[in-house]
Amino acid sequence: MNILRYMLIFVPIAFLAEWFFPNPLLVFALSCIALIPLAGLLGEATEELAIHVGPKVGGLLNATLGNAAELIITIVALREGKIELVKASITGSILGNLLLILGLSLLLGGLRHGIQTFDRNLTGVAATMMMLSVVGMMIPTLFELLREVQSGKVDVFNTEVRDPALDALSLGVAGILIVVYVLSLIFSFQKPERGIGAPTGIGDPSAEIEHHQAKWSVPLSLGILTIATIAIVFLSEFLVGAVEPVVEQLGVSELFLGVILIPLVGNVAEHIVGVQVAMKNKMDLSLSISLGSSMQIALFVAPALVFISLLFGNEMTLYFSLFEVAALTLAVLCAAQVSVDGESNWLEGVQLLAVYLITGLGFFFVVTPGAHGG
């Protein structure tokens, strides 16, 4: 993770670019690069605090702040009215964790260790929870599409609609998903061998060797947490403000940027850890990171954003494009299929990566100007 420390130099460079060289493409690129080490620093500070407060409270900290960087970015985007970008980021985060990171973990771990084993109970609970989250997105999507079919005005790519019934349905579904997520945490703390607790593996026996002693004091951890959060807020504003000019210059849409790029920016540090522990043959911890992070995004972050959007007067719903819902459903099914037997190999990693690339190509061509048949 030393390289992330060196990347912190891009933080002041991004600020200088925003203030003195306001080229949208340059500001966007530098903001993305600068957010990567800050997200890693935020996660590290959270993990250090978790060690000080003990495994149970620490697990709760990681379960609520594990994706804090991405949550900050999406809240800033919500405030600016970039609802499509927020939804795309949610979709991309789940796809990235289930296909890209899990795929890389299985590939590199398998190349180094051959056949690797892990607890099937872990993946079974995760697969069920992820299917629940897909249902939570699918029902509002199908509901609104059917209403549009009845009215004769169907646009499967425009999900920013004003429908009081859809707003109420989304709030209800979001509330249910958050309750289920909280109950899953309680279950994980009571039965750690039967569920996924904190996405970073706090409380997992295989992680104790690496997490047995805090490197930072509580004041230092809180200070870094605060400074990193403030910096992420400013850089998120720079990034979101540059999205529209970048979209015009590159000829892609906000949906593609949200699905592919922004989730990587907010989660690179966590992704690196997931792949590293897989290469150390700790597959339970690796799966805990990738699957736990997916669950957190789908069952906590996305529903929380529905409620947070009420503060900005432009309500976000759980109405996703049909293409996004289909991609998420297939990703969950693929991830469950390769992990159902409690064994993994490098070929299964290749298969997940192939699905991610195919999905990414689909999003690229769907959102390229003119791809809608116009």
User: H-type helices in the chain, by residue range?
Assistant: 2-6, 10-20, 24-53, 55-65, 68-79, 83-95, 102-113, 120-151, 164-190, 208-211, 218-241, 243-250, 254-256, 262-279, 283-296, 302-308, 322-339, 346-367
Of 109, 94, 91, 37, the residue nearest 319 (C-alpha): 91
Residue 110: predicted pLDDT = 92
Instruction: Find out whether 363 and 323 touch, Cβ atoms under 8 Å.
Output: yes
Q: Is the pLDDT confidence value at 59 over 80? A: no
Residue 204: predicted pLDDT = 40
Query: What pTM did the predictor assign?
Result: 0.86
Mean pLDDT of all residues in 162-169: 89
How many CB atoms sit inside 10 A of residue 237's CB?
Answer: 17
List pLDDT tens digits, range 265-312. 877 777 888 888 889 888 888 888 888 888 889 999 999 999 999 998
How many CB atoms sit inside 10 A of residue 163's CB?
Answer: 16
Distance, CA of 117 to CA of 114 (rounded, Å):
10
What is the average pLDDT value for the chain, to the nearest integer?
A: 83
List pLDDT tens digits, range 174-224. 999 999 998 888 887 776 655 554 444 433 434 443 445 778 888 898 899
Distance, CA of 201 to CA of 236 (rounded, Å):
27
